Amino acid sequence: QVQLVESGGGLLQAGGSLRLSCAASGSSFSARAMGWYRQAPGKQRELGATITSNGNTNYADSVKGRFTISNANAKNTVYLQMNSLKPEDTAVYYCQAVMYTLTYWGQGTQVTVSS
């Protein structure tokens, strides 16, 4: 059974930084891609950033230049370095992993940015 375990969320002031981590376990496959999505209260889940196993990245316009996604393929692990955080970045951040033909989600980690 595949499990994604996220860590690194928290409460901080605007302008601060956080690093999220997500480790996938329980699969005999390496992740083809991993990513971070976020969902703010009352809004739909939206893309944050994704990265493929060969390092290709994709960012939402709202986080470009502030967030950096990276991975450690051998460990099926993905990181999200978030800098210059804004109150509008407040959301539950979900890790996603695509393994073979299946997509898995983590349970989410709360990020709250105060003004």
Measure Cα distances from 62 to 84, 88, 114 in Å. 12, 10, 18
Mean local confidence (pLDDT), 18-36: 92
Q: What is the mean pLDDT of the chain?
A: 95
pLDDT for the residue numbered 27? 83
pLDDT for the residue numbered 29? 80
* 1 pLDDT more than 90: no
Mean local confidence (pLDDT), 66-70: 98
pLDDT for the residue numbered 30? 86
**pLDDT confidence of 75, banded at 50, 70, 90?**
confident
Distance from CA of residue 86 to its chain's centroid?
16
C-beta neighbour count of 25 within 10 angstroms: 12
* 81 pLDDT more than 90: yes
Measure Cα distances from 19 to 22, 50, 69 in Å. 10, 15, 10
